[in-house]
Structure 1
Amino acid sequence: MTYQELYDQLNYVNHSREKRAYYAQLVISTPELMPHILKILFKVNDPISNRAGWLLEFVCKTDLTILFPYLDTFTEKMHTVYQDSALRPVAKICEYLTLSYYKKKDPLTRKHIKSLHKERMTEAGFDWLITEQKVAVKAYTLTSLFLIGTEIDWIHPELKRIMEDDYHKGSAAYKARCRHMFEALKKFEKRT
C-alpha cells in the first residue's frame, strides 16, 4: 500500500473498535506502513493526522514492538502534535512505553528505549502538563512522568509541584488522577 492509498484509507478510520482493529491489524501485518503512519501523524495541521494517531495507538496497544524501529522519529516529533484528538493517542503511547519499560520491565522495551527517548518524553510531558490540555492527555502524562521519575531524581519534585499548583483548578477526573499520583509518590518515597 502506498502512502497515498493509506492516507485515503484513513478517511474510513473512526473511533469504533472494529475500524481501528481492522486497520491496526493491517499495519501489524504490513510493518512497512509504519513510516507512512508516522508521516501522516506528524502532518499536524491535517485533520487526517488525528486518525493516524488513533490507528497508531491501537497498533501499539496490540503490538508495541512495531514502534521500536521508529522511536527516534516518534519521540523527536511528538512535541509538535497539538490537536486534541491526535495528542491524546500520542500521550497514551508514551504511557504504554513507560509502563512496558518500568512496570513490566519488558526486555525488548528496555533494549530499545534509550535515555534520549526518555528525555524527549519527559520534556514533552511537562509541556503538556503546564499547557491547556484535555484531562486524558494530562492523566496519561502523569503516569509516564511518575514512572520515568523513578529513575530520574528531579522529575518527582517537579511533578508534585505542578499537581499541587493545578489541583484546585482541575476537573474531577484530573483531581482523581492527582490523588492517585500523590499516593504513588508517597509509596515511592518510603521505598527509597
Structure 2
Amino acid sequence: MISELQKKLDYVSAYRENRLKVAQEILENPRFFYELVSICFSPSDKNNHKACWILEFVSYEELIWLQPHLDFFFSNLKNLKDESAIRPIAKVTQLLVKSHYKKDENSIVLSETNLQDCIETSFDWLINDVKVATKAYSIRTLYVLGNYYDWIHPELKIILDKDYGDHSAAYKAVAREVLKKIK
C-alpha cells in the first residue's frame, strides 16, 4: 500500500512553490518526518530525490527534527548516487555542521562518528564528478570543519588550488572566498 507521504511525493515537481507546499505539509504534520528521512536514503525509491528536496526545505525551519536521525543520516551519505538527491543533502549537511559549532540552546549535537562521516563524504563530493552546487556546499562545510580539525584546511587548500582552473565561475568564486579565509 502506498503511504500518504508517497502520494504527496508523487506529485512534487522541481518548481520551488510545489516543493515548498509539500515541505509546509510536513512541517504541519511532523508524523511524516521519519518516513521522509527514510525515503531520502532509499536510492531505489522513485521519490528519493524529491524527498531530499523536501528535507532541505523542512531543515531550514526545523533542523532540530534531524537530531534523533543523525546516525542514520550521516552513515548513509555515501549511499546517495543521484545528483538530484545529493545536492539538497549536501546543503542539509552544511546546515547541520554550522549548527553544531554555533553552540546555543538550539544547536545540533553531532557525534565524532557523524563528523568523520561528514568529512569523508564532503571530500568525496569535492573530488568526484558532481555538480558545482554540491562541491560549493562541500567546500563551505569542510571550511567550517577545518576550524576544528587542523588537517582539513591544508588538504582543502591543495584540492582547491589544483582544481581551480578546471571549474566554472561559481566554483571559482566559492574557492576564492574560502582560500582567502584559510590564508
In terms of mean alpha carbon deviation, does 12-21 or 70-79 score higher?
A: 12-21
The 1-side partners of 2:104 and 2:96 are apart by 10
Superposed CA deviations along residues 113-142 of structure 1, whole A, max 9, x for unmatched, are 221111111010011111101000000010
Alignment partner of 1:115 out of 106, 112, 117: 112
Match of 2:158 in 1: 161
Alignment correspondent of 1:50? 49
Give the TM-score taking structure 2 as reference length. Answer: 0.93
Alignment root-mean-square deviation, CA? 1.6
Going from structure 1 to structure 2, the CA distance change for 1:16 and 1:106 (only over 3 Å counts) comes to: farther
Cα displacement (A) at 1:105: 3.2
Say if 1:73 and 1:45 are closer, same or farther in 2 by CA, change over 3 A. Answer: same
Q: Kindly state the Cα deviation for residue 169 of structure 1 after the two structures are TM-superposed.
A: 0.6
Deviations 1:39-63 (A, max 9, x none): 2111213331010000000000111
Residue 35 (structure 2) pairs with residue 31 (structure 1)? no
Q: CA deviation at 1:20?
A: 2.1
Query: Cα offset for 1:88?
Result: 0.2
Give aligned pairs, total. Answer: 183
Query: Partner of 2:74 in structure 1?
Result: 75
The counterpart of 2:176, out of the listed 161, 176, 179, is 179
Deviates more, 1:58-67 or 1:28-37: 28-37
Separation (CA, whole Å) in 2 of partners of 1:18 and 1:164: 38
Tell me which residue corresponds to 1:12. Answer: 11
Give the equivalent residue in structure 1 for 2:86: 87
Whole-Å separation in 1 of the counterparts to 2:121 and 2:95: 15
Instruction: Give 2:116's aligned amino acid.
Output: E
Q: Are residues 1:60 and 2:95 paired?
A: no
Q: What SS does structure 2 have at the residue aligned with 1:113?
A: coil
Q: Unmatched 5+ residue regions in structure 2?
A: none
Q: TM-score, normalised by structure 1?
A: 0.89
2:97 match: 98
SS at 1:168's partner residue?
A: helix
In structure 1, the residue matched to 2:39 is 40
Identity %: 39
- Alignment partner of 2:103: what SS? coil
Letter in 2 for 1:117: N
